[in-house]
Amino acid sequence: MGKLDGKVALITGAGQGIGQGIALALAREGAAIAVAGRTESKLHGTCERLTELGARSEPVVCDVSRRADIASAVERTVDVFGGVDILVNNANDCTPGPILSVIDEEYERSFATGPLATLRMMQSCHPHMVSRGGGVIVNLVTSAAVRWDASNYGAYGSIKEGMRSLTRSAACEWGRDGIRVLSVAPHAKSPALARWMERNPDEAAEFVAGIPLGRVGDAETDIGRAVVFLVSDDAGYLTGATIPLDGGQSRWG
């Protein structure tokens, strides 16, 4: 038996990278997975891998910047699986860069796919979690927001910190509803990070050298397995916290 037998998880940005890693890890513990994201072909790719594990899954095309897409994704998940027990807000379109390079339209898109999408998704899932006696929400943020040198992370960090604030507030407001809400700040070799490391080998080497554990995390075994613990009953008394899954690179406090 798995830790998550009978549970239903809705994961955004699950067509690749960290979202896919979390989906695989949760599925190995028995969860059914609604695989949400913008690119249908990537969603089917993740679903094929989940099927190989013997897990139930459903591809759900969703642009989290659109309120209607979020409502539709939650409705589809409930229709297919009967409810939602776990929500992972992973999708976010935000690129690091210097403050002077930030363009209004890009920042507005980052906000729409970050804090605003997180808020809407949590609000949409709340009644379904309440009807099942509770649930767990995990919002993916970043340790870049608390780096000693925050250069090039101003816009990116501010978006993720908005999500972290929503996490804390929802944890306080919804605890009596049986809903736990957590933030995870991961470092994992997503496709975007892999491309950056290939283009910037010297900076990448310096980046890895600054990680006490000496490596970038694996999306499934390092990030996904930790999320399994967080959404399971083993972590049933933990809420409102930010869990740094960054190999010790950043200090929180």
Burial class for 231, CB neighbours closer than 10 Å (0-12, 13-18, 19+): buried
DSSP per-residue codes, 63-131? -TT-HHHHHHHHHHHHHHHS--SEEEE---------GGG--HHHHHHHHHHTHHHHHHHHHHHHHHHHH
d(CA 156, CA 160): 6
Contact residues for 238 (Cβ-Cβ < 8 A; gap 6+): 180, 182, 230
d(CA 62, CA 113): 11
Residue from 107, 153, 156, 237 carrying the catalytic annotation = 156
Burial class for 39, CB neighbours closer than 10 Å (0-12, 13-18, 19+): exposed
In one-letter notation, the amino acid at residue 166 is L
3-state DSSP percent of the chain in helix, strand and coil, to 5: 50, 15, 30
For residue 156, the surrounding DSSP H or E stretch is helix 154-174
Of 18, 16, 21, the closest CA to residue 40 belongs to 16
| 156 counts as catalytic | yes
Catalytic (active-site) positions: 156
